[in-house]
Amino acid sequence: MAAQPHAAPATPATAAKGPLVIAKQSFFYIGGQYDHMHPDRHVIGQMYVEYQIPQDLKHPFPIVMVHGGTATGLEWKGTPDGREGWEQYFLRRGYAVYVVDQVARGRSPYETQVYGKATSQTTQYILERFTASEKFNLWPQAHLHTQWPGNAEPGDPSYDSYASSNAASMDDRDAQDAMNVRALDMLLDKVGPSILFVHSQAGQYAWPLAQDRPALVKAIVAIEPAGPPVHDVVIKGGEPRFGVTFEEAANQDDAKDQFRDSPQRKSYGLTNHVLAHAPGVSPQSPLAFVRQVEADGPDLARCWRQKEPAKKLVAIGDRPIVYIAAEASFFAPYSHCTVAYLEQAGVHVDFIKLADIGVRGNGHLMMLEKNSDQIAQVVADWLETTMAKTEADQRGAAR
């Protein structure tokens, strides 16, 4: 694709909503330590955290927002066409909000000698997976995508704004996960009981955080969290996902199937990060997985689950959890697999498919799309219904 001139900044698509009065805001770093393995002794493993507390604070639990892959906290702070983001939406609803840049991303500096190789998304991948999936039709639901603001090509102000925000991230995904979970554990220790918002890549952090800090994770809002379980799905055609092409993908016994499995297996089903189970996982009693013989529908991938009897995930299900699924996302063929895996492991999930409640046409970056406020309203309504008693108990305990 030929290079395009960078367009003028996008202008806000809607009128301002009135003043947003902030009582306190600042930032801090958490989770870092000095590197004693290299002579420069840089701080490594640190996470940038920015927070705002509204003047009209209505809810006792703050929201901690953790962005997805090759993104930064900007994912929550505004939209590519200049509208307010989910950070402002929930501040206006009376929540304190903490927004992070993951370790080695954005304002959390990248130390190459420690973190190693970085990877980023190509323009073609962005177009296929996020902004213009309806033009490529790589998965059955892709043609339903209608909500990206603008014409979703280089040279369009909204596209250029989004593409400019993409940040390279660590190629070593396991090391990245471990550092982020550690920093987020420490953030919860500092902030106290919180509601955790996770999107995409960050979804795999929610499960160990709930086990590490069971009293501090009050609810999990999972916006198409990392998945599906056990093996990532590789879709026929288009740019490789995680460096794996369709031809290289494994576990294929139907030549007509458009979905294949990445050869890498997630050791703990949802992630490679250690997750506690009952009965416990050991070399003598490992997790065992099985793939569906038939998919749950003609446009869906076959799910991986545990072999029965399934081991139960410890503590994760002790709080409200919601999974928000978009109609046209590349997650659409397998969002149900993550929900089914969690349910089998004893974790109840409220599974909200946006199309089923009339919210149509969204892709994976739903918090950046034209109807982002409508989706935020779905989340806000779920929180206010689900958390009402927990909030009342917290207020009573604070008296």
Query: One of 158, 194, 200, 335 is an active-site residue; which one?
Result: 200
Q: Is 285 considered catalytic here?
A: no
Report the first-to-last Cα separation within the chain, whole angstroms.
Answer: 62
Q: What tokens were used for 80?
A: 């590519």
The Cα–Cα gap between 269 and 341 comes to 8
Rounded-to-integer distance, Cα 157 and Cα 314, Å: 46
Backbone Cα Rg of the chain: 21
Burial 249-288 (b: 16+ CB within 10 A, else e): bebeeeeeebbbbbeebbbbbbbbbebbbeeebeeeeebe
- DSSP class of residue 129 equals I
**Alpha carbon of residue 308 to chain centroid:** 29
Strand partners, 85: none
Which residues face 66 on adjacent strands? Answer: 198
Q: How far is CA 250 from the centre of its chain?
A: 25
Q: Give the three-state DSSP class for 348.
A: coil
The whole-angstrom separation of Cα 18 and Cα 33 is 42
How far is Cα of residue 51 from the mean position of the Cα atoms in its chain? 19
Q: Which residues are catalytic?
A: 200
